[in-house]
Structure 1
Amino acid sequence: MTPNIHLSPRLIVPDPDRASAFYQVALGAEQVFSAPRSDDDCRPSVIELRVGESSFRISPAVSSWGWLSPDDLGGSAVLLEVEVDDPDAVGERMIAHGAAVVVSIENRPYGRRSGRIRDSFGHLWIITGELR
């Protein structure tokens, strides 16, 4: 029997509020939860975003906890893959809001239209969808 498991990646970023705004505009994410850090609280802030049926969280870097952003690490060790109806439109929105193309979005020989984008926080995204 498989246990009931829900996986929620947490992206570590320099500025969670700015990152939340970016993901809302670029990916159409909806902010569903926010727990800001208070001055007397040792816990970092967390923002939860939902995209379609998936969710992820973002928090600030806290080096003493080992929570490092891609810039702290010299790059991202993870690829986030998002399947969308229109990869080109999502890629264009990400780029318009500060992301950079790593591999252009185009039809691939394995039967998908995809490419790779580095968001302005250093996280790498595979944007993929049906062939055009």
Structure 2
Amino acid sequence: MTQNTCLSPRLIVPDPDRASAFYQRALGAEQVFCAPAGDDGRPSMIDHRVGGSSFQLSPAVSAWGWLSPDDLGGSAVLLEIEVDDPDATGERMVAHGAEVVIPIENRPYGKRSGRIRDPFGHLWIITGELR
């Protein structure tokens, strides 16, 4: 493996434009690229940056095997984001339509964390330093 290897998750969602707006408002994500819309009017990929990390959004396309958490009956992946203020991040996500799965609290393993389900079914561990 080379030194400049990078792993970037691609989240499959029903509506990439709506999801992009959510992540920009709730996580402070910056949209850095949006691929042209396909025949169905949805962009095929939207690239975002949050701090030094990146992630992409793409529409659910069952013919390609690109299924959203709703198509699967739940999320098969946990996304973990470490932030300076997990409480504020969790509150922002909830204010924009996410739901608390596990409250953000000080944990015995030395972090303050909890789990949030975003409006598109993806599960996020929001974590940071103890307070």
Return the TM-score normalized by structure 1.
0.94
Partner of 1:55: 54
1:3-18 alignment to 2 at 5 Å?
Answer: 3=2, 4-18=4-18
In structure 1, what is the Cα distance between the partners aligned to 2:36 and 2:25?
21
Cα offsets for 1:80-105 (capped at 9, x unmatched): 00000000000000000000000000
On the 8 A contact 2:111/2:129 being kept in 1, the answer is: yes
RMSD of the alignment, in Å? 1.7
- Count residues in correspondence: 130
Identity across the alignment (%): 82
Rounded Cα–Cα distance in structure 2 between residues aligned with 1:44 and 1:59: 7
Equivalence for 1:66: 65
Q: Give the match for residue 89 of structure 1.
A: 88
Give the Å deviation of 1:44.
5.8
Using the TM superposition, give the Cα deviation of residue 32 of structure 1 relative to its aligned residue in structure 2, in angstroms. Answer: 0.2
Task: Provide structure 2 residue ranges, at least 5 long, that are not aligned to the other structure.
Answer: none
Runs of 5+ consecutive residues of structure 1 not aligned to the other structure: none
In the alignment, which residue of structure 1 is the partner of 2:77?
78
* Cα displacement (A) at 1:8: 1.2
Alignment of structure 1 residues 33-44 onto 2, 5 Å: 33-39=33-39
The one-letter amino acid paired with 1:80 is L
